[in-house]
Amino acid sequence: MQSRRIAPIVAVVGVVVAVVLFVVLRGGDDDSGSETSAATETTASPAADDASGEGGSGPAGGAGNAAGSGGDDEGAGGASEGSGGGKSGVPTIVVEGGQPVGGVQDLTFSKGDDIRFIVKSDVADHVHLHGYDVMEDVPAGGQVEFDVPATIDGVFEVELEDRVVPLAEITVQP
C-alpha cells in the first residue's frame, strides 16, 4: 500500500530533476530568435573618429568575458557613426536616447571566431548578450567593448537590459 503512494512522488521528483538538468545543461539561451523586425546589416568599416588615435577600450583578456572602457566621450555628440565600425573595423552600435541609431543591428560571426562589437551610449544601462549570458555596464556618455569567443551557434539578442531595448541580433554560423 505504501509503495503505491511513493511511486507517484518518485515519478514527479524524477521529472523535476530531468527538467532542471535540461535547462542547466542547454546553456540558458533565453533568446526567442524572433525579436527583430527592423534589422539592418552592419558593415565593419573604420570610423572617422578612429583616426584621432584615441582608443576606447582594449580587447578583453579572459575566455568569454567582456571588457568595458568607461569614460570615453568621443562618439557621444554624433549619430553619423550609426552602425559603422569602431576602431579597427569593430562594429559599433550607437545608442541615443535609449534607442539604437539606425535600428536593431544584424551582426554575423562564424563559430570559432570572436564576437566583437562596441556599444556607445548616451544613457547608463547594462548591455546583455543573451545566450552567452555576458553583461557589461555602460556609463552614460561611455562605451563598452564585447570580445567573446563564438562557441555556441545560433541567433542571440543584445539588449539594454534595464530598458528592455534590443540593440542587435547576433548570428553565429556553424
- Residue 121 is which amino acid? S
* Burial classification of residue 26, based on how many CB atoms lie within 10 Å of its CB (0-12 exposed, 13-18 middle, 19 or more buried): exposed
> Scanning the structure block, which residue is given the C-alpha cell 562605451?
143
d(CA 136, CA 143): 10
The mean of the pLDDT values for the chain is 72
- If one compares 35 and 2, the residue with the highest pLDDT of the two is 2
Q: What is the mean pLDDT of residues 87-109?
A: 93
Q: Percentage of residues in the chain with pLDDT exceeding 90?
A: 49
Domain 39-173 in this protein, CATH class: mainly beta
* Burial classification of residue 118, based on how many CB atoms lie within 10 Å of its CB (0-12 exposed, 13-18 middle, 19 or more buried): buried
Q: What is the mean pLDDT of residues 73-97?
A: 62
d(CA 93, CA 106): 10
Please choose, from the candidates 142, 137, 140, 135, the residue with its C-alpha nearest in 3D space to the C-alpha of residue 156. 135
d(CA 89, CA 135): 22
Write down the pLDDT at residue 26. Answer: 65
Write down the pLDDT at residue 86. Answer: 53
- If one compares 110 and 15, the residue with the highest pLDDT of the two is 110
- If one compares 55 and 98, the residue with the highest pLDDT of the two is 98
Residue 100: how many other CB atoms lie within 10 Å: 24
- Assess contact for 74 and 54: CB atoms under 8 A: yes
d(CA 110, CA 20): 30
d(CA 132, CA 60): 15
| Per-residue pLDDT tens over the stretch 123-172 | 999 999 999 999 999 999 999 999 999 999 999 999 999 999 999 999 99
Write down the pLDDT at residue 47. Answer: 36
Least reliable range by pLDDT among 44-53, 82-91, 141-150: 44-53
d(CA 65, CA 147): 7
